[in-house]
């Protein structure tokens, strides 16, 4: 094992897949010479050249559209949309083309396309650059949605996403790029649609992903000092959702808190919570509880931004409320 940063894990995944398969290439705004808005693609342009690390025009619709076309003709493109906030500009390409092509052609073509983007708050970038919009994408049949929380997951899930013959929306959190974790030296992938129990416990289950997962683990450590044993489950893939692993945990602890940064109304937590109700109702000793972002445009003010998304203290308080 080696210890690397989250951004480096993604960079290594791209490098290893490009070295192994000449059909893999990367394109997006500033991904080549500049190395990506958050430096994730640094060094790849120098190694693979402009044919396989391509800077594009500032047009999200064109980037995703070109990705779909190249995927349908035998390539495995990894396209980068600089901020998830800009995905709305490419939603026709994603929702009406990428997600539906395989179905509408009766399986005669596939779209092995990965759309890398980043989301989440924490850098006080304001309402246009700080949103958590993953719930938009889990509503689209025909795509997969991945949100890794650790370098290990980031690398393994990205490699598996590139190998998948379906379009994958792969969302990185802008506040995780500098976080560190252990990653195997040898080649590995992580199956899509498989959750991971990050911490075992018996009193309550917390289901969380991306940065909320790390905050939940921190909260669990604090709660342990007070004799509260928390199990933490990371879905890793939001679509398809591994409700089996989540249900197994809830059936053991009988209480559950779902934590996310996206808006509470119609958010990912609502979907996860409803699936828990459908699968675990008879095992619950308390209602399913959501802890999510506020239903507000993300504030520019650092103080207000902090109030708009759940932190460790919010998680601790909510767990204690559930346990009574």
Residues with a catalytic annotation lie at: 60, 129
Up-side HSE of residue 143: CA atoms within 13 Å toward CB?
A: 27
How many other C-beta atoms can be found within 10 angstroms of the C-beta atom of residue 145?
25
Phi-psi region of 236 (alpha: psi -120 to 50; beta: other; left: phi over 0): left
Cβ atoms 113, 67 nearer than 8 A: yes
Cβ atoms 254, 158 nearer than 8 A: no
- What SS3 string covers 5-61? EHHHHHHHHHHHHHHHCCCEEEEECCCCCCCCCCCCCCCHHHHHCCCCEEECCCCHH
Cβ atoms 290, 322 nearer than 8 A: no
Report CA 317 to chain centroid distance, whole Å. Answer: 25
Pick the closest to residue 144 from 246, 276, 241, 243 (CA basis). Answer: 241
Cβ atoms 280, 251 nearer than 8 A: yes
Query: What secondary structure letter does DSSP report for 196?
Result: E
Tokens of 194: 């498989």
Tokens of 54: 């391509």
Cβ atoms 185, 212 nearer than 8 A: no
CA distance 317 to 295: 20
Q: Which residues contact 186 (CB under 8 A, 6 or more apart)?
A: none
């Amino acid at each position: 094992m080696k210890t690397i940063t989250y951004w480096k894990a993604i960079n290594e995944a791209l490098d290893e897949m490009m070295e192994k398969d000449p059909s893999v290439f990367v394109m997006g705004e500033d991904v080549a010479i500049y190395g990506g808005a958050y430096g994730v693609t640094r060094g790849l342009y120098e190694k693979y050249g402009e044919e396989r690390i391509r800077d594009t025009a500032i047009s999200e619709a064109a980037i995703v559209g070109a990705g779909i076309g190249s995927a349908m003709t035998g390539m495995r493109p990894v396209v980068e949309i600089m901020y998830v906030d800009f995905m709305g500009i490419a939603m026709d390409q994603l929702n009406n083309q990428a997600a539906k092509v395989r179905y509408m052609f009766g399986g005669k073509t596939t779209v092995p396309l990965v759309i890398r983007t980043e989301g989440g708050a924490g850098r006080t970038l304001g309402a246009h650059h700080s949103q958590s919009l993953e719930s938009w994408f889990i509503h689209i049949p025909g795509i997969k949605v991945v949100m890794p929380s650790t370098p290990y997951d980031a690398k393994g899930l990205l490699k598996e996403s590139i190998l998948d013959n379906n379009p994958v929306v792969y969302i990185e959190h802008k506040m995780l790029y500098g976080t560190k974790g252990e990653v195997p030296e040898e080649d590995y992938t992580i199956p899509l649609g498989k959750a991971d129990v990050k911490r075992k416990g018996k009193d309550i289950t917390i289901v969380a992903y991306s940065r909320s997962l790390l905050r939940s683990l921190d909260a669990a450590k604090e709660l342990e000092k007070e004799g509260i044993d928390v199990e933490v489950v990371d879905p890793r893939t939001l679509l398809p959702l591994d409700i089996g692993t989540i249900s197994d945990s809830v059936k053991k602890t009988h209480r559950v808190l779902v934590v996310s940064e996206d808006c509470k109304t119609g958010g990912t937590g609502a979907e996860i919570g409803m699936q828990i109700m459908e699968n675990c109702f008879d095992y619950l000793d308390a209602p399913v509880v959501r802890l999510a972002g506020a239903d507000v445009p993300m504030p520019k003010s650092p103080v207000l931004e902090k109030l708009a998304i759940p932190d460790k203290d919010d998680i601790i308080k909510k767990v204690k409320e559930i346990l009574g």
